[in-house]
Chain A
Amino acid sequence: MNGMEIHKRVVQLVREKVAGTKDEDLAIPFVLLGEDGLFDSVTALELVLAIEKEFAIVVKDDEVRPENLGNIESIVSFIQAALSRQAQSLVVILKPTAYASMLGMLSVSI
């Protein structure tokens, strides 16, 4: 999934949460979440949960920070990073060397 596609889906999620959101509200520098943001904390939580569901990622408590979720731009970058982390961990599991190290751990624990 590329950045544009993620951006489109995040904008759609934001519009679902706050009806009548204008395009200028979603411009890159606009604060979406935060003290001066468009969303209060409960609506922000709804958005975070919707992002988790839509992109099948987990947003950890310590990742709930302005640099990850402050505006559309940061949300898109955060999702991209989370998706690539997931893909990397999948690659590691599929690598034969990873299997070998897992078997090694198993034999040690036995």
Chain B
Amino acid sequence: MKLSLIRLAHTTPGFRSVAKRIHPVWFFRLTLWSVTLSSLFWPHTKKLSSPFREVLRGRFDNQELRQRARYYLLYLRLFKELELTWGNWEGRHGDWIKIEGESHLEKALQQGNGAILISSHNYGFSKLVAPALALRGYRVHRGGGGKKDGRRVVRWGKDYRISWQYLDYKGDYWHRLQLIKAIRDALAGNGVVHISPRAYQQGDEDMAIELFGRKYFLDATWFRLFEMCRAPVLPCFAVGNTEGQVRIVIHPVLPLRATEMAREFAEIQHTYLTKLPEFGRLWKDIYLSRGKL
């Protein structure tokens, strides 16, 4: 049962006007209901949540683990689909997106060196950070690879470039250099840059972090760049609440030195993964690597 209510309602021409009128919270409830049914009767859905349950067994009692596994499936689905609603819910984003800790960002921008928001790559709804902050009047740049520009226009609306920019990264050295130069220029203009650095299986020992018994390495290049730019770096996590809203939480500024910055960011990331594991999308990787440790 892979019927997606959000995808159906927000992308099918005849249904769009109806979907516009339904409150975002109702979509959240309907999707939760659909996921619950799916996990009861559909083996594939059960299989999807098994790494989550296996890794976290013992951390929560059975009832809570079952509940969290249900929400894990829900957020896995919403992560892919929530951004499809962006254009359709124009004008009512305030109903379902809340920003916490905005004062940290405002204070950071007062220094005039711009601000860097960093999110965990495989956690939460970080794709919504740039468009949501742009709606609040910030000049936001989001760095990274991803979809072709045409598809972004379909998703975020044709005027998305006016309020926020996507800084493309196509993988090679010269694109990387162009990207980091564009980031540095954006910061020099007191802009906000949002990045979700990946964690790798190999890397610099200084950048090592441990997540549930598995060692990962943050990308040292990003943290060296942050240190070089001397712009304040703030962790930023986009999670959901049980009422169907997305909470974008901005944390206070991290230390300036790259290694300390990475360590503190890793600690915050670990706290989120421990307290709100249902927003993580790395459980399968952790589960599969367990036998290899």
Binds B, one of A21-29, A39-47, A79-87, A100-108: A39-47
By beta carbon, the residue of chain A nearest B182 is A61
Contacts of B177 in A (CB 8 A): 33, 41, 44-45, 48, 64
Tell me the smallest distance from the CB of A6 to a CB of chain B, in Å: 21
Residue-wise interface mask of B (156-183) relative to A, using a CB-CB cutoff of 8 A (1 in contact, 0 not): 0000000000000000111011101110
Complex A-B, nearest 5 residue pairs according to Cβ-Cβ distance, in ascending order? A35-B173, A41-B176, A64-B178, A42-B224, A41-B177
Contacts of B178 in A (CB 8 A): 61-62, 64
Contacts of B176 in A (CB 8 A): 41
Tell me the smallest distance from the CB of B201 to a CB of chain A, in Å: 20
Residue-wise interface mask of B (13-52) relative to A, using a CB-CB cutoff of 8 A (1 in contact, 0 not): 0000000000000000000000000000000000000000
Tell me the smallest distance from the CB of B9 to a CB of chain A, in Å: 39
The CA of A68 and the CA of B180, in the complex, are separated in Å by: 17
Tell me the smallest distance from the CB of B48 to a CB of chain A, in Å: 37
Contacts of B185 in A (CB 8 A): 61
Tell me the smallest distance from the CB of A39 to a CB of chain B, in Å: 9
User: What's the interface size class on A, roughly?
Assistant: 10 to 19
Q: Are B173 and A42 in contact (CB under 8 A)?
A: no
Majority-rule SS of B interface residues: helix
Q: A34-B173, A34-B174 are in contact. Are A48 and B228 (CB under 8 A)?
A: no
Tell me the smallest distance from the CB of A13 to a CB of chain B, in Å: 16
Q: Are B174 and A45 in contact (CB under 8 A)?
A: no
- Say if the beta carbon of B274 comes within 8 Å of chain A: no
4 new A-B contacts, CB < 8 A, other than A34-B174, A41-B221, are: A42-B180, A45-B177, A45-B184, A45-B228
Tell me the smallest distance from the CB of A16 to a CB of chain B, in Å: 14
- Say if the beta carbon of B225 comes within 8 Å of chain A: yes
Q: Are A45 and B221 in contact (CB under 8 A)?
A: no
- Say if the beta carbon of A95 comes within 8 Å of chain B: no
Contacts of A45 in B (CB 8 A): 177, 180-181, 184, 225, 228
Residue-wise interface mask of B (106-128) relative to A, using a CB-CB cutoff of 8 A (1 in contact, 0 not): 00000000000000000000000
Tell me the smallest distance from the CB of B197 to a CB of chain A, in Å: 13
